[in-house]
């Protein structure tokens, strides 16, 4: 029997896990897999369930650390959320404006989506005080981007560094509707404002410079809110006061998790992989557009709709890739996939340019710095620019010792780079993968067993 492609090593005196990956003589990635539930949709299902009247049923929830943080926060405010599992989670909602003042600090852990969306909800709860925080990474990420529009609606919020960093305190208010012109295309900002607008009397609109993911708009509508969108102007409007009613939500597989296998199967020779039940909402499919432009062999099969979200099975076979330029309005449609697209670019002929991606500097880590520095340790030719990367592809990679920077997407992108490299790659702090993909290592092993 050949040596295992991936072995795990847990540190006895910390929570750290190290992955050792050596593709050896393994042939390509072949078979049929499924990926865990979509992280963005999982958060929203738990949150809307908690603030709706009646029962929400969630099938296919992501069991990652981030949705666990959301569930813990809303349980602390009185929502009854059953034990989390992928089969069926039930949420007994309290109704809009009915969250209880928690007698503890709400801890969003590593999750920007939890913290920012929750702030929008909390700001509209008069006479209650909420304190919110997160882990070291989240406490360093910018919160002014939601504080500014929420204040425009009348919210009272205090925090570190001029009210821009967590921990933050929020005293809920009766909010006023607003039209917010966001300087950044961010679904977290847009969602926070729309959620705050649910209890404001009148129309609350967010206009963005480019269209970001629209899961909140879709789910709010399914729960009974009046939401309109204007794709021409990249605007979304909610009319308050709204009423939300519990629904049945089916969470599709996360295209951001499928992205690792799409790139792996595209660049590792002799691969033929079917990834079943992946969400293909058009605001998330930039990765497919770019991989196809690079020459990847990807087909969508069995396209269907599940609970208001488009879903398909994705078949990917290895092929020769060529470089491309990734910039402009496609960036929000693939914002979380840029680290793994950098790995695809290493295998592509020519120089790939990524621009307009400065948002990556304020994700769970500075993803431009993290992916460039760690891929270069493996022999890649990646240059960081202020707002992106320049990647000269076509060269080989060698196994090296690299670090996740405690960022889930960096850990998994480096694992895919390791499959393309010769020798052993050692990935430190790989436990970060559990934020969005707790069974990533199991799936990787199963593909080569
Ligand atoms: C998310 C939006 C994106 C994305 C994040 C999840 C969401 O962040 O990077 O992983 O669920 O709304 P921004 O909207 O801040 O770009």
Q: Which CATH superfamily is domain 5-37+252-447 in?
A: Enolpyruvate transferase domain (3.65.10.10)
Ligand 1 center from residue 30 Cα (angstroms): 31
Q: SS3 of 50, please?
A: helix
Least confidently predicted of 22-31, 186-195, 328-337, 382-391: 22-31
| pLDDT tens by residue, 279-299 | 999 999 999 999 999 999 999
> Tokens in use for 257?
């998790």
Q: Which CATH superfamily is domain 39-250 in?
A: Enolpyruvate transferase domain (3.65.10.10)
Predicted pLDDT of residue 2: 61
Q: Quick check: 337 and 256 in contact, CB under 8 A?
A: yes
Q: Can 5-37+252-447 and 39-250 be said to share one CATH topology?
A: yes
How is residue 228 annotated by DSSP? E
Backbone dihedral angles phi then psi of residue 427, each to the nearest 5 degrees: -110, 115
The mean per-residue pLDDT over the stretch 93-106 comes to 98
Q: Which of 62, 109, 110, 112 to mutate to test the pocket of ligand 1 (most atoms within 8 A of CB)?
A: 112
Ligand 1 center from residue 213 Cα (angstroms): 8
Q: Which residue has the higher pLDDT, 306 or 251?
A: 251
- Supply the Cα-derived Rg of the chain in whole angstroms: 21
Q: What percent of the chain has pLDDT over 90?
A: 95
Predicted pLDDT of residue 25: 82
Predicted pLDDT of residue 225: 98
SS (H, E, C) 118-162: HHHHHCCCCCCEEEEECCHHHHCCCCHHHHHHHHHCCCEEEEHHH
| pLDDT tens by residue, 387-426 | 999 999 999 999 999 999 999 999 999 999 999 999 999 9
Predicted pLDDT of residue 14: 84
Return the ligand 1 atom nearest residue 336 CA. 9
Would strands 53-59 and 248-250 be described as parallel, antiparallel, or unpaired?
parallel
Place of tokens 């499928």: 258
Domain locations in the chain? 5-37+252-447, 39-250
Predicted pLDDT of residue 363: 98
Predicted pLDDT of residue 426: 97
Confirm or reject: Cβ of 318 under 6 Å from ligand 1.
no
Comparing CA positions, the residue from 218, 175, 200, 177 lying closest to residue 44 is: 218
Confirm or reject: Cβ of 336 under 6 Å from ligand 1.
yes
Active site residue ranges: 336
| pLDDT tens by residue, 14-39 | 889 999 999 988 889 999 999 999 99
The answer on pLDDT for 315 being more than 90 is yes
Angle, CA of 395, 396 and 398, to the nearest 5°: 145
The mean per-residue pLDDT over the stretch 98-111 comes to 98
Least confidently predicted of 4-8, 178-182, 199-203, 267-271: 4-8
Angle, CA of 132, 135 and 140, to the nearest 5°: 85
C-alpha dihedral sign at 356, 165, 283, 440: positive
Mean pLDDT across the chain, nearest whole number?
97
Confirm or reject: Cβ of 359 under 6 Å from ligand 1.
yes
CA distances from 35 to 260, 307, 313, 374 (A): 10, 18, 11, 25
Predicted pLDDT of residue 195: 99
> Which amino acid residue places its CA nearest to atom 10 of ligand 1?
336
- Measure the CA–CA gap between 163 and 166, rounded to whole angstroms: 8
Confirm or reject: Cβ of 40 under 6 Å from ligand 1.
yes
| pLDDT tens by residue, 132-141 | 999 999 999 9
How is residue 227 annotated by DSSP? E
The mean per-residue pLDDT over the stretch 85-99 comes to 98
305 contacts: CB under 8 Å, gap ≥ 6: 311
Confirm or reject: Cβ of 212 under 6 Å from ligand 1.
yes
Q: SS3 of 361, please?
A: helix
């Amino acid at each position: 029997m050949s040596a295992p492609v991936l072995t795990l090593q847990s540190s006895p005196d910390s929570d750290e896990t190290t992955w050792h990956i050596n593709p050896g003589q393994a042939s390509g990635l072949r078979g049929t897999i499924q990926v865990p539930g979509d992280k963005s949709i999982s958060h929203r299902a738990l949150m809307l369930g908690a603030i709706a009247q009646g029962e929400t049923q969630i099938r296919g929830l992501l069991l990652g650390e981030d949705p666990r943080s959301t569930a813990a926060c809303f349980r602390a405010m009185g929502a009854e959320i059953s034990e989390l599992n992928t089969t069926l989670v039930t949420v007994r909602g309290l109704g809009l404006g009915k969250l209880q003042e928690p007698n503890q600090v709400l801890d969003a852990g590593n999750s920007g989506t939890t913290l920012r969306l929750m702030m929008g909800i909390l700001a509209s709860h008069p006479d209650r005080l909420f304190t919110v925080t997160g882990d070291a990474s989240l406490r360093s990420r910018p919160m002014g981007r939601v504080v500014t529009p929420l204040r425009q609606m009348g919210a009272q919020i205090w925090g570190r560094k001029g009210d821009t960093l967590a921990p933050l305190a929020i005293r809920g208010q009766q909010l006023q509707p607003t039209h917010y012109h966001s300087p950044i295309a961010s679904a977290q900002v847009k969602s926070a404002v729309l959620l705050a607008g649910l209890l404001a009397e009148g129309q609350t609109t967010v206009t963005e410079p480019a269209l970001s993911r629209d899961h909140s708009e879709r789910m709010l509508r399914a729960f009974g809110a009046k939401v309109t969108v204007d794709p021409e102007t990249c605007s979304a409007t909610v009319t308050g006061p709204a009423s939300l009613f519990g629904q049945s939500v089916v969470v599709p597989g996360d295209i951001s998790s499928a992205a690792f296998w799409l790139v792996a199967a595209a660049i590792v020779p002799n691969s033929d992989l079917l990834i079943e039940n992946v969400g293909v909402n058009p605001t998330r499919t930039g990765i497919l557009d770019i991989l196809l432009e690079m020459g990847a062999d990807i087909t969508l099969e069995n396209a269907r709709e599940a609970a208001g979200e488009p879903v398909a099975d994705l078949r990917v076979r290895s092929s020769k890739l060529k470089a491309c330029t990734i910039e402009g309005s496609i960036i929000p449609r693939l914002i979380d996939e840029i680290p793994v697209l950098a790995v695809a670019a290493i295998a592509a002929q020519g120089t790939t340019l990524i621009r307009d991606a400065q948002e990556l500097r304020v994700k769970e880590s500075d993803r431009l710095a993290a992916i460039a520095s760690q891929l270069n340790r493996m022999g890649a030719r990646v240059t960081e620019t202020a707002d992106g990367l320049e990647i000269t592809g076509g060269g080989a990679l060698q196994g090296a010792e690299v670090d996740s920077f405690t960022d889930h997407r960096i850990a998994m992108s480096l694992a895919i780079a390791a499959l393309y490299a010769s020798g052993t790659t050692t990935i430190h702090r790989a436990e970060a993968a559990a934020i969005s993909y707790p069974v990533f290592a199991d799936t990787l092993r199963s593909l080569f067993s």
